[in-house]
Amino acid sequence: MEVRRWGWRHAGRRAWALRGVDLRIDDGERVLLLGASGAGKSTLLLALAGLLDPSGGGEEEGQLLVRGRRPQDARDGTGIVFQDPESQLVMARAGDDVAFGLENRCVPTERIWPQVHAALAAVSFPYPEDHRTEALSGGEKQRLAIAGAIALGPRLLLLDEPTANLDPDGAALVRAVIARLTQDRSRTLVLVEHRIAEALPFVDRVVVLEAGGGVVADGTPRDVFARERMRLDALGVWVPGAGALTVARARIDQQRVLASARDLTYRYPASDVWALEHADLDVSQGEAIALVGPNGSGKSTLAMLLAGLLRPARGSARLGAEEAWRLAARRLITRVGTVFQNPEHQFVATRVDEELTTGPRRAGRSAEDARAVTVSLLERLRLSHLAAANPFTLSGGEQRRLSVATALATAPPFLVLDEPTFGQDRRTYREVVELLAGHRNSGGGVVLATHDTDLVASLADRAITLRGGRAA
C-alpha cells in the first residue's frame, strides 16, 4: 500500500477525518493501527478496502494505492472484517455464508466448496457447514466472518476491532485465529484495536493516526511506545501498562428501589428458545450493577426489559411501582435513560446537537434548558466539534458517547447501558466512567451489560452473571 498526502472528508462535514497521510506498507507486514476515538482509523481501512466513494458526497485528496491500483480496482485481493459480525453474515447456514463471496466472484462451482472447507478449517470453525448462523455465539460469528474474508484469498486483510463486541472467551477464540493467520507471510495484515496488550504479539509495526491529520508515529512497538509515550498519552491512545481507572464512591444512606424485576421471562418472536428466564433483580439508589456473561446469555434482553423497551412474556419489570413497558414514551424518558447495544438504532435526528435536545424537549424542558444540557454534555464527552454532524456519520466510539449523552440528557434516576465504553480511547473512557460514577454517587441507579472487566472493577457495586438466559 502506498498513501501519499491522502485525505478524506465525510459528506456534510467541515473537518477532514484524515489529511496529509503518508504511509507505505510492504507485502507481509503486520501493522497495528492506533489513534484516539475519531482519529480516522476505520476511515482509512474503508478506503483501503475500496469502500469509500466520493460520488456519495465525500471529498478525497492525495493518492491511495493498493498494489499499484486504486482500491476500488484492487478489491479482488482485499478482505475486511468489521467490529460487528452481524453486519457481515448474510446467509442462514454457515457454509453458505462463506460461499456467498465466492459465488459473487463467479468462482467455478467445483472450486467453491473446497475453498469454503479450507476457510472454515483455517478458523477452527467447530460446526458442520449446514449449522445455522443464528445459533452461533458472538465469537463463533466473528470466526465465520473471518472465514468468509479469507476464503477469497486476499493478499491484504483488514481487521477493524474484531474482538470489540465479544465476551472474553469469544475474543480469545478470535485472537487464536488471528495468531494462526499471521504465520502466513504471503498475506499483509492491518489491525485496528483500542486495547492493545493482546494485539501486540501479532504485529511487527505500529502506526498512530491523529484526528484530522496524518501519521504521528510509526515504527516497531518497542520504539513507538518508548519514544512517543508522552505524546500518545496526550492523544488519549491506550498504551501498554496504563494503570487501572479508579473512581470515587459515595455512600447513600437512604436507599429506595428504583427498578425491580420478578420472574422476568422473555422469548423473541419466531424463536423457540427462551432468551431470559425467571430473572429477579432490585436496583437501588446509589447502586451500579453489572450484567456479565457470554454473548447470547440474556444480558441485553434483561437490560431492555428493565428499561421498558420489551414486554415480558411472564413476570414483571417495574420502575418504582409501575410496569416499565406500560409507560408512555414521554414519561419513560424521564424515568430511565438507555444505551442500546447498537447505538445507531436509537438515533432519531440528523444533527448531533438536535439528537441531544430531542429527549429534554420531549420531557417538557424549555428550549433554553435543553440547549444548556446539550452544550454541557457535548463538551464533557468531547463531541462539541461534531455538533452539526449527522449522528450516522460518526465513528463507532463517537456514536457510543453520543448514545451515553442522550441517556443522561433527561436526567433520569435510572440508567440502563449496553456496553457504554465500547470503542473509547483512554481519555474518553475516563470521561464516560466518571459521568456514570457521578450519576450513581448522586443517588441514581445504573445497570451495565458489559464484557469490559475493567469497567466492572471500576464502577460496579456487584455483578450478576447470566448463562443461557438464567442467572448463574
Pick left, alpha or beta for residue 406 (phi over 0 → left; psi -120 to 50 → alpha; otherwise beta): alpha
> Which amino acid belongs to residue 115?
Q
Phi, then psi, of 366 in degrees rounded to 5: -70, 160
Q: Domain-by-domain residue ranges, the chain?
A: 2-235, 257-471
Fold of 2-235: Rossmann fold (3.40.50)
User: Is 252 a residue whose pLDDT tops 80?
Assistant: no
Count the neighbouring beta carbons within 10 Å of the beta carbon of residue 67: 15
Q: Do 257-471 and 2-235 fall under one CATH topology?
A: yes
392 vs 48, 163, 295, 313, 343, CA distance in Å?
21, 22, 25, 33, 9
| Chain segment 203-224, per-residue pLDDT in tens | 999 999 998 889 999 999 999 9
pLDDT-derived band of residue 162, with 50, 70 and 90 as boundaries? confident
The more confident residue out of 33 and 296 is: 33
Residue 358 is classified by DSSP as: H
Residue 333 CB-density burial (10 A; 0-12 exposed, 13-18 middle, 19+ buried): buried
Query: DSSP letters along 366-421, please?
Result: -HHHHHHHHHHHHHHTT-GGGTTS-GGGS-HHHHHHHHHHHHHHT--SEEEEESTT
Residue 32 CB-density burial (10 A; 0-12 exposed, 13-18 middle, 19+ buried): buried
pLDDT-derived band of residue 170, with 50, 70 and 90 as boundaries? confident
- pLDDT for the residue 336: 96
- pLDDT for the residue 166: 78
Query: DSSP letters along 161-202, please?
Result: STTTTS-HHHHHHHHHHHHHHTT-TTSEEEEE-SS-TTTGGG
User: Is 368 a residue whose pLDDT tops 70?
Assistant: yes
**What is the CATH superfamily name and number for domain 257-471?**
P-loop containing nucleotide triphosphate hydrolases (3.40.50.300)
User: Is 462 a residue whose pLDDT tops 90?
Assistant: yes
Residue with cell 498494489: 67
Coil vs helix vs strand at 141: helix
197 vs 32, 213, 242, CA distance in Å?
11, 25, 10
For residues 148, 154, 160 and 164, what is the CA-based torsion angle, rounded to 10 degrees? Answer: 40
Count the neighbouring beta carbons within 10 Å of the beta carbon of residue 447: 28
| Chain segment 312-350, per-residue pLDDT in tens | 999 999 999 999 999 999 999 999 999 998 888 899 999
Percent of the chain's residues with pLDDT above 70: 99
pLDDT averaged over every residue in the chain: 91
- pLDDT for the residue 194: 75
pLDDT-derived band of residue 165, with 50, 70 and 90 as boundaries? confident
User: Is 254 a residue whose pLDDT tops 70?
Assistant: no
> Which amino acid belongs to residue 86?
E
